[in-house]
Amino acid sequence: MRAAVVGVGNTLMRDDGVGVYVVRALERSGLPEGVDIVDAGTSTDAAFALAEADRVIVLDAARLDGAPGTVYRLTVTEASSCGCGVRSCHDVGLVETLRTVLGGREPEIVIFGVEPEVVGWGIGLTPNVEAAVPRVIELVKEELKGAECS
């Protein structure tokens, strides 16, 4: 099984960039063989780099009206039908582009979203969101554990 972890967001918009910050930290921490790391920023073109993946983990900011720094784990179905509406311009665009690129083949997709505090011009995460980064890393590694990646 081939897995990919993709971080999306804009690092120039404070907490909106949390997915990119997490994927960069994951890259430094080391992941199992067969796991690709994709720093997608705000580009849906990253979907082309995921064409061989059987499992995709998307990391992004997600407004679900929780406390800043709250971490959510959602499947694509949950994200699109939960009624609360994952309000992120990135994860939906990436997922839809991925479906198009794969021509009907759909990998297992999990989204880890972090509730942002500030989405506006500026660099760096707010303290509550920054404090969530180690938890997201832990959750991603748990998600990958047991999955045979090659």
List, for residues 85-112, the tens digit of each pLDDT value. 444 544 455 566 666 666 666 778 899 9
Q: Which 3-state string (H, E, C) describes the chain?
A: CCEEEEEECCCCEHHHHHHHHHHHHHHHHCCCCCEEEEEEECCHHHHHHHCCCCEEEEEEECECCCCCCCEEEEEHHHHHHCCCCCECCCHHHHHHHHHHHCCCCCCEEEEEEECCCCCCCECCCCHHHHHHHHHHHHHHHHHHCCCCCC
Q: Could you tell me the fold of the domain covering 3-144?
A: Rossmann fold (3.40.50)
pLDDT for res 41: 76
Q: What is the rounded average pLDDT of the residues 5-31? A: 93
**Using 50, 70 and 90 to split pLDDT, how confident is the model at 145?**
confident
List, for residues 49-99, the tens digit of each pLDDT value. 677 788 889 899 998 889 999 999 988 777 766 544 444 544 455 566 666
Domain ranges of the chain: 3-144
